[in-house]
Structure 1
Amino acid sequence: MSERFTVVASSTSPTVLKRWVAFELRKLREDAGISRDEAAKSIKGSVQNIGHIETARSLPKPLELERLLELYGVPERSEFFLELRTRAKKGRDWWIGFDESTVPEYFKLFLGLESSAVKIESWDAIVVPGLFQTPDYARAIIRGGRPEFRATEVEKRVELRMARQAEVLHQEDAPQVWAVISEAALRLEVGSRAILRAQLERLLELREHPNIEMQVLPASAGAHTGVDGGFIVLTFPNELAHDPGCVYVEGRVRGVYYEEPAQVLAYRDALTRLQMRADKPEDFPRWVKEAMKDL
């Protein structure tokens, strides 16, 4: 196991480690041309047991893991997978202190994936990305989008958003973050002019981080590959050779995950086209300062 992956895995949530074990084992089995029935017989288990392992509902026991890897023709990867399994069993998700109303079940996977990614790329059409928001800006966004929330519910979500930023942007081995933001998002008066100004100043500060890049897609760009709305593309460590990454699209009721290679590729292509049509990263401060002049 590489030193790089050991560092990443040590801070990766159990939720994500289980997903990685499941994803990798399923791909190895399929590449070897082995059925679930054959895999089940090798560990003296049931097809349902293999199904639970490959959907991250359960982790294989150490002996089961070694037998499966031997069956799939990659026994040399035992140490790698056993390390993943150990961390998945002993780890603790960073959001564990938040209740279910603040962190619904569908959102837990995203929080784990985001904090485990080596690259986070996004397109934001309406507002500034959550990873970049100030507390006041986030508070105004949540209040405006969810007027039915009580003040305490709003504050819990603001706290969660700030915790996300600390977990992702300020970890020792922070990921590369590349955001394409619409011109409209820089000008939408969220909360008040003072709140928007403070948010724009925050963007200028964040841009100085070596692992953060931002681009503006001008209104003059016309129709583009992001007209369907915002999305986030996550890339994971190279050691997970079979993982194509993941795309997350936030909806009003719940988030949607796209994990099939063709689906992820479609979003990567859309994002690449947005990056190409957007102004260069070095022009970002100019856009922000122009927006601030109008406040």
Structure 2
Amino acid sequence: MPNAPMVPTVRRRRLGSTLRRFRNEAGLSLDQAARAMGWNGPKLSKIENAVQGLRPGELTALLKNYGVTDPDACAVLETLRTDASKKGWWQAYSGIVQPAYADYISLESDAERVCAWTPLLVPGLLQTPAYARETIAGITTTRTPEEIAALAEVRMARQSVLTRPGNPLELWAIIHEAALHQRFASRPATMREQLRKLLDASELPNVVVQVMPLASTAHPGLEGGFSLTKFSQPLPDVVLLENANSATYVEGEAATPFERAYERIRATALSVEDSLVRIAELEEGLRK
């Protein structure tokens, strides 16, 4: 029986695209780089297009041919190679989680830092179970109650990156104050619990929360929300742009304008200290 075709996972795609970039920077054509390895051109093309993996030692030889000698960069790519076929916990929800969302969870699990600007909702990494269920139910037009519950479970499971041993994800979240005034008629305590969750999460050394006040001046975030996901070099940063129907990713140099935009959004928002005071005031107001 012939072997099943290899699935081009997110990790394998990022490894392939990074190798292609290094080959181009070395000034080598596909055929030249393949011959240096004793391969034919199609094999290297399949590797760069994430439909064929690399055996132990092959990645080291390729990087040497491309003049890549930085040990940290080599280690990052070797980790991608060895982890390329590993199944993530989210694959247990493959019937519920859309492919684009699964790709983002995979990226998030490998990231060093996420900078999120969320004008309408609390970021998923900081949501309570009740808030997640209520917002998913409110947004969706096609999901069953069972699917909504499963999606809320996925959102909660994603949060483990904030407390993973050794290298927890760094999260900087800027939330528009309007999102913190959301109310849920079926369960009035939901928003108060969510505000308390933001205050508690802010005590983690790797989590920073800012609030964009209702009376803010104009800033680049008026065009919509986005998440800037940053990785160890040499992997390019990725920006997620999301709407009701789809998710779009941009990476590498195309992510640079979003980095500049995020800095301006951060400068326009309340300071970290004033943000926590505002969240606490809103939470206290819901106790009355």
**Higher RCO by CA contacts (8 Å cutoff, separation 6 or greater):** 1
Matched, 1:197 2:192: yes
Aligned match for 2:247, one of 245, 255, 264: 255
Q: Which whole-Å CA distance do the structure 1 matches of 2:64 and 2:179 have between them?
A: 52
Counterpart in the other structure of 2:84:
88
Aligned match for 1:164, one of 133, 158, 163: 158
- AA of the residue aligned to 1:216: V
Counterpart in the other structure of 1:276:
267
Task: Give the conservation status (yes or no) of the 8 Å contact 1:141–1:190.
Answer: no
Task: Give the conservation status (yes or no) of the 8 Å contact 1:121–1:233.
Answer: yes
**C-alpha deviation, 1:287, in angstroms:** 1.1
Structure 2 length normalisation: TM-score?
A: 0.87
Summarize deviations over 1:231-277 as a string: whole Å, max 9, x none. 1111112xx33x2311111222221111131x211101111000001
Percent sequence identity over matched residues?
35
Structure 1 length normalisation: TM-score?
A: 0.85
- AA of the residue aligned to 1:244: P
Number of residue equivalences = 275
- AA of the residue aligned to 1:271: Y
Structure 1 regions of 5+ residues with no counterpart? 1-13
Task: Give the conservation status (yes or no) of the 8 Å contact 1:221–1:277.
Answer: yes
Cα RMSD over matched residues?
Answer: 2.3
Task: Give the conservation status (yes or no) of the 8 Å contact 1:143–1:154.
Answer: yes
Moved more, 209-218 or 76-85: 76-85
The within-5 A match list for 1:130-149 is 130-149=124-143
**C-alpha deviation, 1:64, in angstroms:** 4.2
Q: Which whole-Å CA distance do the structure 1 matches of 2:222 and 2:16 have between them?
A: 34
Q: Which whole-Å CA distance do the structure 1 matches of 2:263 and 2:50 have between them?
A: 31
Structure 2 regions of 5+ residues with no counterpart? 1-7
Distance 1:211 1:83, change over 3 A: closer
The within-5 A match list for 1:1-295 is 15-62=9-56, 64-74=58-68, 80=75, 81-82=77-78, 84-89=80-85, 91-100=86-95, 102-166=96-160, 168-172=161-165, 173-190=167-184, 192-237=187-232, 240-241=233-234, 243-261=235-253, 263-295=254-286
Summarize deviations over 1:88-143 as a string: whole Å, max 9, x none. 34x3312122123x222222221111111111110000111111111111111011
**C-alpha deviation, 1:67, in angstroms:** 4.2
Task: Give the conservation status (yes or no) of the 8 Å contact 1:42–1:67.
Answer: no
* 3-state SS, counterpart of residue 208 of structure 1: coil
